[in-house]
Structure 1
Amino acid sequence: MDMDALIDEICRRVQQKIQALENRTEDTKPAILILTPDHGTACHEMLEDEKLAECYRTECALLKEYQCSPADYEAVVAYGMSNESLGKIAYGIFDSGYTRLFGQSILAGKKIYLVEEEIELYRYKDTAPKAYYGCLEASLEMLKNSGVTIASQSQIPDLILHGEPEEGVEPEGPSKDCEVPKKDESCVKEAVLDKRVITEKDMIDLGNNRVRKVTVGEKAILTDLAREYASKHRIAVLRRGTSSGKGHNL
Structure 2
Amino acid sequence: MDFNQLVEEIVARVAAKIEAESAPVAAQVDSGKPKLLILTQEHGTLCHQMLESPRLAEYYQTECALLQDYQCALESYEAVILFGLDLELMGRLSGGLCETPASRLAQKALLLGKKVFVPQETVELLKYADSAPAAYYQHLYGQLTLLQQAGMTICPLGNLEEAILSGECAPAVKPPAPVEVIQVPTAAPAAPAASGDCARIDKRIVTERDVNAVYKRGMTTVYVCQKAIITDLAREYAQARGVEIVRD
After superposing on structure 2, the runs of 4+ consecutive aligned residues of structure 1 that deviate more than 6 Å are none
Equivalent positions of 1:224-243 (< 5 A) are none
In structure 1, the partner of 2:67 is: 63
In structure 1, the partner of 2:49 is: 45
Structure 1 residues 164 and 39, CA, compared in 2 at 3 Å: closer, same or farther?
same
The 8 Å contact of residues 36 and 61 in structure 1, kept in 2 or not, is answered as yes
1:27 and 2:31 aligned = yes
- Flag the structure with larger Rg: 2
> How many pairs does the alignment contain?
149
Structure 1 residues 44 and 57, CA, compared in 2 at 3 Å: closer, same or farther?
same
For residue 158 of structure 2, give the secondary structure of its aligned residue in structure 1: coil
1:77 and 2:81 aligned = yes
- Give the deviation of 1:27 after TM superposition: 2.8
1:36 and 2:36 aligned = no
- Give the deviation of 1:112 after TM superposition: 0.7
- Give the deviation of 1:23 after TM superposition: 2.0
- Give the deviation of 1:166 after TM superposition: 8.2
Structure 1 residues 100 and 25, CA, compared in 2 at 3 Å: closer, same or farther?
closer
* Residue-by-residue CA offset, 1:189-234 (whole Å, 9 max, x unaligned): xxxxxxxxxxxxxxxxxxxxxxxxxxxxxxxxxxxxxxxxxxxxxx
Q: Distance in 2 between matches of 1:26 and 1:54?
A: 14
What's the TM-score once normalised by structure 2's chain length?
Answer: 0.56
Question: Identity, % of aligned pairs?
Answer: 41
The 8 Å contact of residues 155 and 169 in structure 2, kept in 1 or not, is answered as no
For residue 66 of structure 2, give the secondary structure of its aligned residue in structure 1: coil
In structure 2, the partner of 1:54 is: 58
Q: Distance in 2 between matches of 1:78 and 1:165?
A: 16
Q: Distance in 2 between matches of 1:42 and 1:70?
A: 22
Equivalent positions of 1:118-129 (< 5 A) are 118-129=122-133
What runs of 5+ residues in structure 2 fail to find an aligned partner? Answer: 1-22, 172-248
The 8 Å contact of residues 79 and 115 in structure 2, kept in 1 or not, is answered as yes
In structure 1, the partner of 2:146 is: 142
Q: Distance in 1 between matches of 2:69 and 2:123?
A: 22
Q: Distance in 2 between matches of 1:125 and 1:90?
A: 19
Equivalent positions of 1:181-192 (< 5 A) are none
The 8 Å contact of residues 28 and 61 in structure 2, kept in 1 or not, is answered as no
Amino acid at match of 2:70: Y
For residue 31 of structure 2, give the secondary structure of its aligned residue in structure 1: helix
What's the TM-score once normalised by structure 1's chain length?
Answer: 0.56
- Give the deviation of 1:155 after TM superposition: 1.0
Q: Distance in 2 between matches of 1:83 and 1:104?
A: 19
- Give the deviation of 1:81 after TM superposition: 0.6
Structure 1 residues 128 and 35, CA, compared in 2 at 3 Å: closer, same or farther?
same
- Give the deviation of 1:147 after TM superposition: 1.2
Q: Please, what is the CA RMSD of the aligned residues?
A: 2.2
Amino acid at match of 2:158: S
The 8 Å contact of residues 94 and 147 in structure 2, kept in 1 or not, is answered as yes
- Give the deviation of 1:150 after TM superposition: 0.5
Equivalent positions of 1:186-225 (< 5 A) are none
Q: Distance in 2 between matches of 1:27 and 1:98?
A: 26
Q: Distance in 1 between matches of 2:78 and 2:136?
A: 35
Candidates 115, 121, 144, aligned match of 2:119 = 115
- Give the deviation of 1:69 after TM superposition: 2.1
Amino acid at match of 1:73: Y
